[in-house]
A and B are shown apart, each in its own frame.
Chain A
Amino acid sequence: MTRIGVYVCHCGLNIAGVVDVEKVAEYAKGLPDVVVARHYTYMCSEPGQRMIQDDIKAENLDRIVIATCSPRMHEETFRRAVAEAGLNPYLTEIVNLREHVSWAHTHEPEKATEKAKALVRMGVARVRLLEPLEKRKVSVEKSVLVVGGGIAGIQASLDLANAGFKVYLVEKAPSIGGRMSQLDKTFPTLDCSACILTPKMVDVAKHRNITLLTNAEVANVKGFVGNYEVSILKKPRYVDAKRCVGCELCTRVCPVKVPDKFNENLSEKRAIAIYSAHAVPKIAIINPDYCLRVKFNEGVCGKCQDACEAEAINFEDKPETVQIKVGGIVLAVGSEVFNAAQMAELGYGRFKNVISSIEFERISDASGPTGGKILTPKDNKVPKMIVFIQCVGSRDKRFHEYCCRVGCMVTLKQAILAREKIHENVRVYVCYIDLRAFGKGYEEFYRRARDMDIDFIAGIPSEVHCAADGSLYFDVYDNGTNKLLEVHADLVVLGTGAVPNSDLGNISALFHASRSADGFLLEAHPKLRPLESAMGGVFLAGACQGPKDIPDTVAQASGAAAKAIDLLSSGEIELEPLKAVVDKDLCSGCRICESLCPFIAIEMKPEIVAGNEKFRAEVIEAMCQGCGLCSAACPTGAIKIQQYSNRQVLTQVQAALAEAEAKGGN
């Protein structure tokens, strides 16, 4: 004889403010096999959970229905509570009265109460058919793949490696360091970016637990949480990493000039060169799109080969694939800078003295194209008037609706740098909408900028013009003075925001990590699980999850590393038991399920039936995530998902259709 307990949660006033919880509990008492029905302010609280546990023991309950918030919120909480009382946790059914009832029907309390009753009736009908299940345990690889070698990837790698985990750090560029290595100073302390980053880059290269794979990309990912098989494509470098000593003799003789990507194409380097001044690893690389020898083959050029004393040049270098097994993955692929040429009115791309904020960083940086002197790109002059324009491409429905979260602070920093480097000989204007200085020490930094005679204009210009003599001018209306200012500028710096990487779509598909509406990678929960993707064992760090400054990025990276350690440290993990099971006698071997399964969890196994070879589907348990695609598509009904069999679902449908007065039952 089944003995069911029903518990209706008020969720403060979230549910009880709309649904008459008392009536619902009273109604539940009349449903067949229901022994206890209660309502309580917060079922998820300690006394709420204890109420259920006490009833299980006192009333000998063997099935529990909890009418509360979404199962995504507290299903795990209640399962744990039920298990503590000695009942199999999978004999619990969550009825969602908050997201499905009270929040959806706020203005119709009576109808909402009726709907709540119907949902409880369905839950009671279904809970009777649930079967006890056991969690599956699988062993895990105690190693982690970190994708992206910016400050996020570097921090996560170091934390993981220091905790004793084997780390594979994959970086697309020839050197690690990422966006932070391009910056001159960092806010709000004006630390030199290279001074705080380079030691960490060196630590990564030297750490015995870290395998560094630069100039490489992830090509394929198979497997599941705890047991991922990853193939990594190492692109040809044309320089033997073991032999190259970084002497740059090759660069001196190379005749081919190439735009320098690290300097945002503001200067040129050679077709064979070291990526940047602080590159790790400090090894030369040939750009195959420009190198005469690699492009045109035998007999051409080859000067670098003659010059290299270490005999490191290898024009025959081929791409190489590396296979690794890891338990977890940290995605730290960063972001890109908004291309301001899309906003034609501001003149970026048309006028050389209109630059983006990242280009200003390179101009201001000691290792940049001007050796750290702030000069206009067009005429190499010291600017007498610099104007910063905020929110370019961000907070703009035409491009990106979100706030870039760093632009205000970046501009304050750059305005201060301009003032410090050019002293009183420069006027600095900042045209802004709202100035957001929200972080620790940021408002103080803003005040420091105001102290330095930097002019803040509450208004954004509509367009930037270029006069016949090449000088820039525009009108901007200042909301403080109610005056239209006519501004002539030598240098205009656009506060360009961060945008999702152009190849983030591929990355999202490769790792099954979904994206949010703004295009960045989506966290599993915006508040409670910000460091994980929805895919088990795939963690998020840094600007690939949303624009971030350095302190936030480092914090998230350490957090993601800790999450990976939490997952893998015990050497085995528990998986949800909800998975697909195949009834072999019904399987016709049509392979529809195999083609649909997004987790490659179905294998077709040959079998001899009456002298003929026949294929039948088999579920690889550890890989099945219980999504149900196979079950819905199976033409013979041979595959079912545990706890969601046709019978279990149809019983619920029948209960939904039964009249309220019929008191549940059938």
Chain B
Amino acid sequence: MSMAKPNLEAREKILAKLRGKELANCFQCIKCTSGCTALKLLELKPHEIIKLVNLGFVDELPSSDIIWTCVTCLKCVQRCPQKASPYHVIMALRNIAVEKEAKVPEGYFKAVSQILETGLAEAAQKCVTRKMEAVDRQNLKLPKVRPPKESFQVVFMKAMEEK
């Protein structure tokens, strides 16, 4: 095992994105990890992410794929007794990863272009009836989903850039 070295500069960068979230207050009660919906998919546990940031062992975090596994159920936010939830750290790490142009899972870009085109986070899909017939909006004689106005895209892009 190699000796870990804290990177205090990178740590400051993460903390700057977390204003008001009292990370240092975490006393490792591990409630977040005990209740984490995505725990079985995670290499690093939520309580470990907080401690790593607090101690400055942050170098691998933004490029790691763990930060993309969080399903944002917000249970840890609700139940953290010290209001130091790992969710906000994971969000900050995601933003840093995008800024660094690190590898971002494809699904996220798909979701963004989806929203830009349709205004919906989830596209209208085909579904299967009890008689095993595949139907879509057209079969069901539902009106077409109208694309969003152009002004929406402008505002959306602007918000993205600001972040």
The answer to whether A and B interact is: yes
Decide: A460 and B82 in contact? CB cutoff 8 A.
no
Decide: A484 and B39 in contact? CB cutoff 8 A.
yes
Of the candidates A395, A459, A474, the one whose C-beta lies within 8 Å of that of B33 is: A459
Of the candidates B25, B29, B32, B79, the one whose C-beta lies within 8 Å of that of A433 is: B29
Identify the 3 closest CB pairs spanning chains A and B, nearest first: A462-B35, A396-B81, A459-B30
B34 interfacial by beta-carbon distance below 8 Å: yes
A463 interfacial by beta-carbon distance below 8 Å: yes
Residues of chain A whose beta carbon lies under 8 Å from any beta carbon of chain B? 345, 391, 395-398, 433-434, 458-463, 474-477, 479, 484
Shortest CB-to-CB span from A108 to chain B, Å, is 26
Question: Could you jot down 17 A-B contacts, CB within 8 Å?
Answer: A391-B81, A396-B81, A397-B81, A398-B81, A458-B30, A459-B31, A459-B33, A460-B31, A462-B31, A462-B35, A463-B75, A475-B35, A477-B30, A477-B45, A479-B30, A484-B33, A484-B34
Beyond A477-B39, A477-B47, A484-B40, 18 additional contacts (C-beta under 8 Å) are A391-B81, A395-B81, A433-B27, A458-B30, A459-B29, A459-B34, A460-B30, A460-B34, A462-B32, A462-B34, A462-B35, A462-B75, A474-B34, A475-B34, A477-B33, A477-B34, A479-B28, A484-B33
Shortest CB-to-CB span from B5 to chain A, Å, is 23
B88 interfacial by beta-carbon distance below 8 Å: no
Decide: B27 and A395 in contact? CB cutoff 8 A.
yes
Set of chain B residues within 8 Å of A475, measured between Cβ atoms: 34-35
Shortest CB-to-CB span from B25 to chain A, Å, is 8
B83 interfacial by beta-carbon distance below 8 Å: yes
**Bound Cα distance A391, B31 (Å):** 12
Decide: B82 and A461 in contact? CB cutoff 8 A.
no
Q: 1/0 per residue B17-42: CB within 8 Å of A?
A: 00000000101111111111001100
Set of chain A residues within 8 Å of B32, measured between Cβ atoms: 462
**Bound Cα distance A87, B67 (Å):** 74
Set of chain B residues within 8 Å of A476, measured between Cβ atoms: 30, 34
Q: Contacts A433-B28, A477-B30, A477-B33; is A462 near B45 (CB within 8 Å)?
A: no
Decide: A461 and B28 in contact? CB cutoff 8 A.
no
Shortest CB-to-CB span from A324 to chain B, Å, is 45
Closest-by-CB residue of A relative to B82 is A397
Decide: A461 and B35 in contact? CB cutoff 8 A.
yes
Set of chain A residues within 8 Å of B25, measured between Cβ atoms: 397
Shortest CB-to-CB span from B155 to chain A, Å, is 35
Set of chain B residues within 8 Å of A458, measured between Cβ atoms: 30
**Bound Cα distance A458, B27 (Å):** 12
**Within residues 79 to 119 of chain B, which ones have a CB less than 8 A from any CB in chain A?**
79, 81-83
Closest-by-CB residue of B relative to A485 is B34
- Determine the main DSSP class of A at the interface with B: loop
Q: Contacts A398-B81, A484-B39; is A434 near B27 (CB within 8 Å)?
A: yes
Decide: B31 and A461 in contact? CB cutoff 8 A.
yes
Decide: A391 and B29 in contact? CB cutoff 8 A.
yes
**Bound Cα distance A484, B27 (Å):** 19
**Bound Cα distance A434, B32 (Å):** 16
Q: Contacts A459-B33, A462-B31, A479-B30; is A345 near B39 (CB within 8 Å)?
A: no
Set of chain A residues within 8 Å of B33, measured between Cβ atoms: 459, 477, 484
Set of chain B residues within 8 Å of A395, measured between Cβ atoms: 27, 81
Decide: B29 and A460 in contact? CB cutoff 8 A.
yes
**Bound Cα distance A484, B28 (Å):** 15
Set of chain A residues within 8 Å of B29, measured between Cβ atoms: 391, 433, 459-460
**Bound Cα distance A461, B33 (Å):** 8
Set of chain B residues within 8 Å of A484, measured between Cβ atoms: 33-34, 39-40
Shortest CB-to-CB span from A395 to chain B, Å, is 6
Set of chain B residues within 8 Å of A459, measured between Cβ atoms: 29-31, 33-34
Q: 1/0 per residue B70-81: CB within 8 Å of A?
A: 000001100101
Set of chain B residues within 8 Å of A434, measured between Cβ atoms: 27
Set of chain A residues within 8 Å of B39, measured between Cβ atoms: 477, 484
Q: Contacts A476-B34, A477-B33, A477-B34; is A462 near B79 (CB within 8 Å)?
A: yes
Set of chain B residues within 8 Å of A397, measured between Cβ atoms: 25, 81-83
Shortest CB-to-CB span from A317 to chain B, Å, is 48
Shortest CB-to-CB span from A72 to chain B, Å, is 31
Decide: B35 and A463 in contact? CB cutoff 8 A.
yes
Set of chain B residues within 8 Å of A391, measured between Cβ atoms: 29, 81
**Bound Cα distance A398, B36 (Å):** 19
**Bound Cα distance A349, B105 (Å):** 43
**Bound Cα distance A434, B28 (Å):** 9
Closest-by-CB residue of A relative to B37 is A462
**Bound Cα distance A458, B30 (Å):** 8
**Bound Cα distance A484, B36 (Å):** 11
**Bound Cα distance A105, B34 (Å):** 46
Shortest CB-to-CB span from A39 to chain B, Å, is 40
**Bound Cα distance A396, B84 (Å):** 11
**Bound Cα distance A463, B33 (Å):** 11
Set of chain A residues within 8 Å of B28, measured between Cβ atoms: 433, 479
Set of chain A residues within 8 Å of B27, measured between Cβ atoms: 395, 433-434
**Bound Cα distance A397, B33 (Å):** 19
**Bound Cα distance A479, B25 (Å):** 18
**Bound Cα distance A486, B122 (Å):** 34
Closest-by-CB residue of A relative to B84 is A397
Set of chain A residues within 8 Å of B81, measured between Cβ atoms: 391, 395-398
Set of chain A residues within 8 Å of B75, measured between Cβ atoms: 462-463
Shortest CB-to-CB span from A407 to chain B, Å, is 13
**Bound Cα distance A433, B82 (Å):** 12
Shortest CB-to-CB span from B80 to chain A, Å, is 8
Set of chain A residues within 8 Å of B76, measured between Cβ atoms: 462
Closest-by-CB residue of B relative to A476 is B34
Closest-by-CB residue of A relative to B45 is A477
**Bound Cα distance A345, B47 (Å):** 19
**Bound Cα distance A620, B127 (Å):** 86
Of the candidates B34, B45, B47, B83, the one whose C-beta lies within 8 Å of that of A461 is: B34
Closest-by-CB residue of B relative to A393 is B81
**Bound Cα distance A463, B36 (Å):** 10
Set of chain B residues within 8 Å of A462, measured between Cβ atoms: 31-32, 34-36, 75-76, 79
Set of chain B residues within 8 Å of A463, measured between Cβ atoms: 35, 75, 79
Shortest CB-to-CB span from A369 to chain B, Å, is 32
Closest-by-CB residue of A relative to B40 is A484
Closest-by-CB residue of B relative to A396 is B81
**Bound Cα distance A141, B74 (Å):** 61
**Bound Cα distance A484, B30 (Å):** 11
Set of chain B residues within 8 Å of A433, measured between Cβ atoms: 27-29
Set of chain A residues within 8 Å of B40, measured between Cβ atoms: 484
**Bound Cα distance A99, B159 (Å):** 47
**Bound Cα distance A423, B47 (Å):** 36
Shortest CB-to-CB span from B76 to chain A, Å, is 8
Closest-by-CB residue of B relative to A390 is B29
Set of chain A residues within 8 Å of B79, measured between Cβ atoms: 345, 462-463
**Bound Cα distance A136, B103 (Å):** 80
Set of chain A residues within 8 Å of B34, measured between Cβ atoms: 459-462, 474-477, 484
**Bound Cα distance A479, B46 (Å):** 12
